A and B are shown apart, each in its own frame.
Chain A
Amino acid sequence: MADRRRINGPVGTTNPPIYDDAPEKQSEGVKVARSRPANVIRRMYLKTGVTPSASGSAYLEIESSGNGGSGLKLSCSVHGPRALPRSTPFSPHIILSTHVKFAPFATKQRRGYIRDPIERDLGTHLETALRGSIIADRWPKSGVDIIISIVEGEQDRETSKAQGIEAWDTMNALSGCITVASAALADAGIDCVDTVAGGVAALVQDAGDDAAPSIVVDPIPSEHEKVLAACCIAYLPTRQEVTNLWFKGDLPASDMDVYTQLIEKGIQASKSANRVLVDCLNETVG
């Protein structure tokens, strides 16, 4: 995935800085435990029409965890529907293109301007989630661009120590992307069968040796000892349909019940986010 158009710096990696002044007990691995009930998502702020020059836009902010980190801040703009360039072949449907980009300063480790595989992967997931919700044949021969900038990624001061939880953060980011893009699409006046919103649920192992794994919605990975499995779901509440499902983890095959519960919790999280979305859209109209 080399950037072919620019001269790049060395490919080697550097260690992100670690600040020594963090409280002593935290550096020893004692984490701030989850204070919310297991089935409640974090509060979020959603506003449409933030970018006047775009056809539609929305801004989403999810409150930060208690660890003094930052919450998720997403800005989405929708351009279109607009005519496709002359060279593109005839399409009986609207052509959807999604771009998800972390701002270079959004995460602890600086990101480049070229979209990396994670961002492209997120874009593909988002496209799948949205394509199910829009009525594509209403807009033949046209295209729409959905551009999401992740202004600030979700992270804690401590995350650099715990390896491998970035992957779970990606799911949270995707769920935010789906919700904010759905709001922006509605703002742009593109026909949708339903409002789609993202939700995340995870099977987590809490600190303490004998704690049984439990399922929580909208997990913050740093609040738990270990995330065993997680899923991100894009759900259409009135049609009761799933447009995108992304499950990841390690579950024994005999455990279909846990899997089903996880999906159900994901749908529940998505429904909660959807309420915020619908309220926000109502406010804009009213």
Chain B
Amino acid sequence: MASSQHVLLSPAELAYLHASLSLTPPIRPDGRSPTQFRPLVAETGILPGTNGSARICFADGTEAIVGVKAEVERTRTRHDFPSLDESAEDDDDLDDNQNDVVKGDNDWVEMTVEIPGYRDDDAGTVFLSAMLSEALLADGEFTKRLWINQRFHWKLYLDILLISPPLSYPLPLLSLTTHLALLAARLPRLKSEGDEDPLFDDDWAAAPYLYPRPSEKGSKATAPAPAARPPVTLLVMAVGNNIIFDPSKEELAVADVALAVSVGESSSSTTSTTSSKPTAMDIDTEETKGHNLRLLSVRTIDPPSRLTPPGIPNASNSAYGANAGAKDTEKKKQQQEQARTAESEAVEGVWKAPRGGAKTLVMATMVQKVLEKGGVADEVLDALDGVDLN
């Protein structure tokens, strides 16, 4: 589904919404604070037939479920690649990223998004799935988790289903559900060694999580380092200088600009690989902090506001009382002149679809709001931590 799907709102409604969202602080139609999300109900492990699953629903009945399925697949060997020929030490520990042999391929993950009422090759659906998989694959660490040995890997199928018709742009909902499903996902424990055909433990209770838990991690690492987490994609919009999170459909209809910001959290081990960056010092200072956030992707979402019908100022409205009876040409000419000025100037209380783009400063602030310490991404990840993963 396209974010720019035809939103049928009257110019008067749009003008009202825009005015109330432009106030400081903005008044949202449902009374939320600018950074507040709609309350949601979440659970994981709802589908025993999957490797991991999650369900999230909003109070208005919008509901999404995600199922993760994994299959063992033979890795395509490439004879031209010398690094694959040399069978160095075998390592079946998925967590061990030090070994260069552990390699991932983006083809190992297949993500499909299903929105009821939309074709699966609809541009909007493709856009959503591209956005979600882009965030997941951005750091190249995720696919390494799927490595079994030189010859085999896990092929992961992520099926994201929206159960209800989309009442609002479903991106945040789908992203949060995917996040939980991946957190809850487990792969059978490998019993075989080296490059032989993989053999797995039947005991599901022994199956390790795809994303190891901090507690498990704590036993291995010396410090209880924050574990890596799947990414979350947040929808942020701006009206004037107000930055608003998790917009509803009506709010998005008056947005000046909307961004989808994907944020990931990496474990400290991956941080060390990138510490050659000029910002190594910043990272060091952050070690002590709760979340080790990383910016994975930012995308502009085409706000539907540009397609909304414009309002007509009373001055140039021929159906407006005082002008209605006006038949003489002089008055009409005057009206036309007014109409011309109305095109360039904004009249208070009259909706006008935004033109042009967004100021870079506003866009930078939007990303900043997501990422800053104690910002929205931090709190969302904290809240997701509280979800029972069973």
A contacts B directly in the complex (CB < 8 Å)? yes
Q: Which residues of A contact B (CB under 8 A)?
A: 1, 13, 15, 18, 89, 91-93, 117-118, 120-121, 123-125, 127-128, 131-133, 135-137, 161, 163-164, 193-194, 210, 212-213, 228, 231, 234-236, 239-260, 263, 267
Min C-beta distance of B277 to chain A, whole Å: 6
Instruction: Please tell me if B164 contacts chain A, counting CB pairs below 8 Å.
Output: no
B106 contacts which chain A residues (CB < 8 A)?
164
Contacts known (A164-B140, A253-B371); A132 close to B357, Cβ less than 8 A: yes
Q: Which residues of B contact A228 (CB under 8 A)?
A: 274, 277
B294 touches A251 (CB 8 A): yes
Q: List 25 contacting pairs A-B, 8 Å CB cutoff, sorted by A.
A: A1-B126, A93-B306, A120-B123, A123-B123, A124-B2, A125-B299, A131-B4, A132-B355, A161-B80, A193-B355, A234-B357, A241-B357, A242-B357, A246-B297, A248-B298, A249-B296, A250-B294, A252-B274, A252-B283, A252-B286, A252-B293, A253-B293, A255-B279, A256-B367, A258-B279
Known interface pairs A120-B121, A252-B282, A263-B364. Does A133 touch B356 (Cβ–Cβ under 8 Å)?
yes
Q: Are B300 and A254 in contact (CB under 8 A)?
A: no
Residues of B near any A CB (own CB < 8 A):
2, 4, 6, 76, 78, 80-81, 105-107, 120-121, 123-124, 126-127, 129-130, 134, 138-140, 259, 263-264, 271, 274, 276-279, 282-283, 285-286, 292-302, 306-307, 309-310, 353, 355-360, 363-364, 367-368, 371-372, 377
> By the criterion CB–CB under 8 Å, are B130 and A117 in contact?
yes
Minimum CB–CB distance from A250 to chain B (whole Å) comes to 4
Q: Which of A91, A92, A239 contacts B357 (CB 8 A)?
A: A239
CA distance A273 to B57 in the complex (A): 45
Q: Which of A91, A164, A245, A253 contacts B299 (CB 8 A)?
A: A245
Q: Nearest Cβ in chain A — how far from B240, in angstroms?
A: 14
Contacts of B359 in A (CB 8 A): 240-242
Instruction: Please tell me if the beta carbons of B356 and A124 are within 8 angstroms of each other in the complex.
Output: no
Q: Chain B's nearest CB lies how many Å from the CB of A195?
A: 12
Q: Given A120-B123, A124-B126, A246-B299, verify A136-B279 contact (CB < 8 Å).
A: no
**Chain A contacts for B367, CB-based, 8 A:** 256, 259
CB-based contact A193/B371 at 8 Å: no
Is the pair A259, B295 in contact by a Cβ cutoff of 8 Å?
A: yes
CB of A89 within 8 A of CB of B307, answer no
Residues of A within 8 A of B295 (CB): 247, 249-253, 255, 259
Tell whether, in the assembled complex, residue B277 and residue A213 are in contact, meaning their CB atoms are under 8 Å apart: yes
Q: What is the CA–CA distance of A245 and B193 in the complex, to the nearest angstrom?
A: 46
Q: Contacts A248-B297, A252-B279: A136 and B353 contacting too (C-beta < 8 A)?
A: yes
Of the residues B293, B353, B356, contact of A93 by C-beta under 8 Å: B353
Assembled-state Cα–Cα distance A193/B357 (Å): 10
Chain B residues with CB under 8 Å of A244's CB are 300, 357
CB nearest neighbor in A for B139: A250
Contact of A92 among B105, B129, B264, B309 (CB under 8 A): B309
- Which residues of chain B are near A235, meaning CB under 8 Å? 357
CA of A255 to CA of B310 in the docked complex: distance in angstroms? 41
Q: Which residue of B lies closest to A239 (CB)?
A: B356
CB-CB nearest in chain A for B283: A252
Given the complex, which residues of A lie within 8 Å of B107, measured CB to CB?
13
**Whole-angstrom distance between the alpha carbons of A255 and B123 in the complex?**
33
Chain A positions within 8 Å of B4 at CB level:
127, 131
Which residues from A are CB-within-8-Å of B278? 212-213, 258
User: In the bound complex, what is the Cα–Cα distance between A210 and B275 (angstroms)?
Assistant: 12
State which of B78, B140, B298, B302 has its C-beta within 8 Å of the C-beta of A127.
B302
Is there an interface contact between A132 and B130, defined as CB atoms closer than 8 Å?
A: no
Contacts A124-B127, A246-B298 aside, 16 further interface pairs with beta carbons under 8 A come to A93-B307, A136-B306, A137-B353, A164-B140, A193-B356, A213-B278, A228-B277, A242-B357, A247-B299, A248-B297, A248-B298, A250-B264, A253-B292, A253-B372, A256-B368, A257-B279
Interchain nearest-CB distance for A22 vs B (Å): 11
A215 to chain B, nearest CB (A): 11
By beta carbon, the residue of chain B nearest A267 is B360
Q: Which residue of A lies closest to B377 (CB)?
A: A253
Inter-chain CA distance A118–B298, complex, in Å, is: 17
Complex formed: what's the CA distance from A213 to B277 in Å?
6
CB contacts (< 8 Å) of B296 on chain A: these are 248-250
Q: Which residues of A contact B353 (CB under 8 A)?
A: 93, 136-137
CA of A22 to CA of B359, assembled, Å: 47
Asked if residues A243 and B357 are in contact (CB atoms below 8 Å), the reply is yes
List the B residue with the shortest CB-CB distance to A260: B364
Given contacts A240-B359, A240-B360, contact A121 B130 (CB under 8 A): yes
The chain B residue with its CB closest to the CB of A253 is B293
User: Given the interface contacts A136-B307, A267-B360, does A128 sit within 8 Å of B126 by beta carbon?
Assistant: no
Q: Which residue of B lies closest to A114 (CB)?
A: B121
* Known contacts A1-B121, A120-B126, A236-B356; A131/B297 CB under 8 A: no
C-alpha gap A220/B376 in the complex (Å): 35
Question: Shortest 7 CB-CB distances between A and B: which pairs?
Answer: A253-B293, A241-B357, A243-B357, A247-B298, A254-B282, A128-B302, A253-B371
B354 and chain A: residue at smallest CB distance: A132
**Chain A hits for B377, CB < 8 A:** 253
The smallest C-beta distance from B121 to any residue of chain A, in angstroms, reads 5
What residues on A are CB-neighbors of B120 within 8 Å? 1
Tell me, in angstroms, the Cα distance from A260 to B279 when the chains sit together: 14
Chain A hits for B130, CB < 8 A:
117-118, 121
Q: Choose one: B134, B274, B357; the contact of A236 (CB below 8 Å).
A: B357
Which B residues are CB-close (under 8 A) to A259? 295, 364, 367
Give every chain B residue within 8 A of A93 (Cβ-Cβ). Answer: 306-307, 353
Of all chain B residues, which has the CB nearest A196?
B357
Which among B120, B124, B292, B296 has the highest number of chain A CB atoms within 10 Å?
A: B296
Contact call A245/B363, Cβ cutoff below 8 A? yes
A151 to chain B, nearest CB (A): 23
